[in-house]
Structure 1
Amino acid sequence: MANITFSSPSLSRDVTVYAVAGDRGTILAVAKANKIPIPFDCQDGECGSCLVEVEILSEKRPYGIALTEKEKEALRQLGKITREEVANAEVNDMPPRYRLACQCFVRNEDILVKFAGDETIPAQPPHLSTAAKIYTGGMEISSADHFLAHAIKVEEDAATHFDGLAASMELCGNAEVGKLFRQLAGYSRLHLKQAKERAKGKDLTAQIPPDYVWPEHATPERTSLLAGDADVSRLDALRAALSGEKRGYEFYYAVSGTSKIPEVVALAKEFVKEEAEHVKILEAWIAREEWLATKHAV
Structure 2
Amino acid sequence: MANITFSSPSMARDVTVYAVAGDRGTVLAIAKANKIPIPFDCQDGECGSCLIEVKHLDPLARHAIALTEKEKEMLKQLGKITKKEIVDAEVNDMPPRHRLACQCFVRHEDILVSFEGDKSLPAVAPHTTPAARRYKGGMVIATVPDFLGYVAKVEADAALHFDDLAKAMTASKADDLATLFTQLAGQSRTLAEGAKAQAAGADADKEVPDDYVWPHYATPEADALWAGDATLSRLDALKASLMGERRCYEFYVAAEATAKSPEVAKAARPFIKAEGERVKVLEAWITREEWAAKH
Q: In the alignment, what sits opposite 1:115?
A: 116
Q: In the alignment, what sits opposite 1:224?
A: 222
Select between 61-70 and 80-89 the one with higher mean Cα deviation.
80-89
Q: How far apart, CA to CA, are the structure 1 residues paired with 2:192 and 2:169? A: 24
1:285 aligns with 2:255: no
C-alpha RMSD of the superposition: 4.0
Q: In the alignment, what sits opposite 2:16?
A: 17
Conserved in 1, the CA contact under 8 Å of 2:213 and 2:251?
Answer: no
List gaps (5 residues or longer) in structure 2.
none
Q: How far apart, CA to CA, are the structure 1 residues paired with 2:213 and 2:102? A: 46
Aligned-pair CA distance for 1:154 = 0.8
Q: In the alignment, what sits opposite 1:156?
A: 156
**Alpha carbons of 1:208 and 1:133: their partners in 2 closer, same or farther (altered >3 Å)?**
farther
**Alpha carbons of 1:39 and 1:112: their partners in 2 closer, same or farther (altered >3 Å)?**
closer
- Residue identity in the other structure for 1:182: T
Q: How far apart, CA to CA, are the structure 1 residues paired with 2:173 and 2:97? A: 37
- Residue identity in the other structure for 2:201: D
SS where residue 17 of structure 1 aligns? Answer: strand
**Alpha carbons of 1:112 and 1:47: their partners in 2 closer, same or farther (altered >3 Å)?**
closer
| Amino-acid identity (%) | 47
Q: How far apart, CA to CA, are the structure 2 residues paired with 1:259 and 1:23? A: 54
Q: How far apart, CA to CA, are the structure 1 residues paired with 2:102 and 2:34? A: 15
1:128 aligns with 2:128: yes
Aligned-pair CA distance for 1:243 = 2.0
**Alpha carbons of 1:105 and 1:182: their partners in 2 closer, same or farther (altered >3 Å)?**
same
Select between 190-199 and 30-39 the one with higher mean Cα deviation.
30-39
* Alignment deviations for residues 165-218 of structure 1 (CA, whole Å, 9 cap, x no partner): 3444555x364445543333222212212222332xx01118834564542699
Aligned length: 286
Conserved in 1, the CA contact under 8 Å of 2:152 and 2:204?
Answer: no
Conserved in 2, the CA contact under 8 Å of 1:155 and 1:191?
Answer: yes
List gaps (5 residues or longer) in structure 1.
none
Alignment of 1:30-109 (within 5 A): 30-52=30-52, 54=53, 56=55, 60=59, 64-75=64-75, 79-80=78-79, 84=83, 87-88=86-87, 89-91=89-91, 93=93, 95-96=95-96, 98-106=98-106, 108=109
Q: How far apart, CA to CA, are the structure 2 residues paired with 1:19 and 1:183? A: 30
- Residue identity in the other structure for 1:115: E
1:186 aligns with 2:189: no
Q: How far apart, CA to CA, are the structure 1 residues paired with 2:203 and 2:35? A: 45
TM-score by length of 2: 0.74
SS where residue 224 of structure 1 aligns? Answer: helix
Q: In the alignment, what sits opposite 2:203?
A: 205
- Residue identity in the other structure for 1:117: D
Q: In the alignment, what sits opposite 2:142?
A: 142
Q: How far apart, CA to CA, are the structure 1 residues paired with 2:59 and 2:32? A: 27
Conserved in 1, the CA contact under 8 Å of 2:212 and 2:251?
Answer: no
